[in-house]
Structure 1
Amino acid sequence: MWQLLPSTALLLLVSAGAQAADLPKAVVVLEPPWNRVLTLDTVTLKCQGAQSPGDNSTQWLHNGTLISRQTSYFIKAASVENSGEYRCRTDLSELSDPVQLEVHVGWLLLQAPRWVFQEGEPLQLTCHSWQNRPIRNVQFFQNGRSRKFSYTDSEFHIPAAASKHSGSYFCRGLIGKKNESSEAVDIIIQGPAVPSTSTFLLHWPQIPFSLVMALLFAVDTGLYFAVQRDLHSSMGAWKNSKVSWSQGP
């Protein structure tokens, strides 16, 4: 049975190596959850990632340059210079995927949590004003056609998005006596994801490790049966052998 030890040890080493190499990615979270803001807006970026006990250090990168080691990155009054790509990392997580922050100059800005939705998901749009000035006679447009009008409500909600809701959106309203409009933004509504594809993409990193485990199991099984075969052969040869005795003088 000692022949099984090397493969078992190898299995443990492979498992430990896989765990060390598969650190989860950190995630950048925006509060409020808009990646498009106006100048002088307040933005907080939080880094979600595993950390060692007592270690609160976090690396923040803006356009590839290290800018902070705090858990959260706070922008008190946004400027155009704050636009760009943000990423973060903790001591027990890999570098996050980039999050793009856009700081715009203007009176009105259309905001949404994201710009690509799946069919059936709720769609929430906000017509945001500079320094949160009051807006009256708010209108939302899709592909140049009015979709909603309200005297004071600056929100546009679609309970379940469909393909017909894809298109170019902007909002318009009165700020004081000025009739202002936001820039147009494209919103994409995608069809439902294919479960088999998503499941494969979710679990594909585990496939090589599973193949290694199956290979080691096969090797162990082969060694086991080889040892059993040798033992049976030895026992058969012992039983079939003839022993002669002779009596001395």
Structure 2
Amino acid sequence: MWQLLPPAALLLLVSADTRAADLSKAVVLLDPQWNQVLKNDRVTLKCQGDYPVEDNSTKWWHNGTLISSQTSSYFIADAKVEDSGEYKCQTGLSALSDPVKLEVHASWLLLQVTQRVVNVGKPIHLKCHSWKKTTVAKVQYFQNGRGKKYFHQNSDFYIPEAKLEHSGSYFCRGIIGTKNESSESVQIIVQGLGNLQTVSSFYPPWHQITFCLVMGLLFAVDTGLYFSVQRHLRNSEEWRNGKVTWSKGP
């Protein structure tokens, strides 16, 4: 099939494939930034991507099912446990986004973290979030069962530069009314520089491989055409005394 296409057509196919591969992915952002929230919280998911002129329609998926919203922001005014799951979006000039997972919990306290896997040297941000923003006093943060930070009033816990020893199981505890409430535990992993390399760094992206294969095929087709023309010329010519004479065919 490829041999029936002229080189110009093959170049157009390569160009189209390259444009498709270069299409940037849309990105789903959470506002607030936490992907763990409590029941009745308000959550906004925003889709960032390129749009055609005068067309800002956006497609949203929840757990693989297309949902009705077509605006660039998807609002959840009163979060329910059923709203948990993976969200994706796509704009007119972007590829489908990577999934963002939203967790809706039903409890009094929830430990929110910006990232569960953190690179060495990066900050760690923890928040002891209460249901309907109820007042919490005497808040304490724990790592692997040991107290790490205490606040008379509810405050966020910051670790400016993560170290390997900051890995572990975290939870928070505080007083709500007359009750001592605790959150569920969250596992945080701090990875060293030796773990930052991924398999993708050793292999080129698939579209680069496709481009190289097609260009190699183009070179092979052009080479074949060149030698085919040379053979035809040799069969049609007679070389005598350094001169070329043409014989008339039947």
Task: Give me the TM-score of the superposition, normalised by structure 2.
Answer: 0.80
| Residues 220 and 190 (structure 1), Cα distance of their counterparts in 2 relative to 1, 3 Å cut | same
- Contact persistence 1:61–1:68 (CA under 8 A): no
Q: Which residue of 2 aligns with 1:149?
A: 150
- Contact persistence 1:128–1:154 (CA under 8 A): no
Report % sequence identity. Answer: 58
Counterpart of 2:144, as a letter, is: N
Query: What is the CA deviation profile of residues 67-103 of structure 1, one whole-angstrom value per residue up to 9, with x for unaligned ones?
Result: 3111111111212232222222222223322222111
1:1-249 alignment runs, 5 A limit = 6-20=6-20, 23-63=23-63, 64-192=65-193, 193-195=195-197, 197-200=199-202, 203-217=205-219, 220=222, 237=239, 240-241=242-243
Compute the displacement of 1:39 (Å): 1.6
| Residues 225 and 138 (structure 1), Cα distance of their counterparts in 2 relative to 1, 3 Å cut | same
Compute the displacement of 1:124 (Å): 0.9
Counterpart of 1:210, as a letter, is: C
Task: Give me the TM-score of the superposition, normalised by structure 1.
Answer: 0.80
Counterpart of 2:162, as a letter, is: A
- Contact persistence 2:90–2:96 (CA under 8 A): yes
Query: What is the CA deviation profile of residues 134-161 of structure 1, one whole-angstrom value per residue up to 9, with x for unaligned ones?
Result: 3222111111111111222521112222
- Contact persistence 1:135–1:154 (CA under 8 A): no
Q: Which has the larger radius of gyration?
A: 1
Compute the displacement of 1:219 (Å): 5.0
Compute the displacement of 1:210 (Å): 2.3
Runs of 5+ unmatched residues, structure 1: 244-249
Counterpart of 2:14, as a letter, is: V
- Contact persistence 1:59–1:89 (CA under 8 A): yes
RMSD after superposition: 3.2
Query: What is the CA deviation profile of residues 134-190 of structure 1, one whole-angstrom value per residue up to 9, with x for unaligned ones?
Result: 322211111111111122252111222222222111001122332211111111222
Compute the displacement of 1:199 (Å): 3.0
Compute the displacement of 1:54 (Å): 0.8
- Contact persistence 1:29–1:45 (CA under 8 A): yes
- Contact persistence 1:123–1:158 (CA under 8 A): yes
| Residues 242 and 119 (structure 1), Cα distance of their counterparts in 2 relative to 1, 3 Å cut | closer
- Contact persistence 2:142–2:149 (CA under 8 A): yes
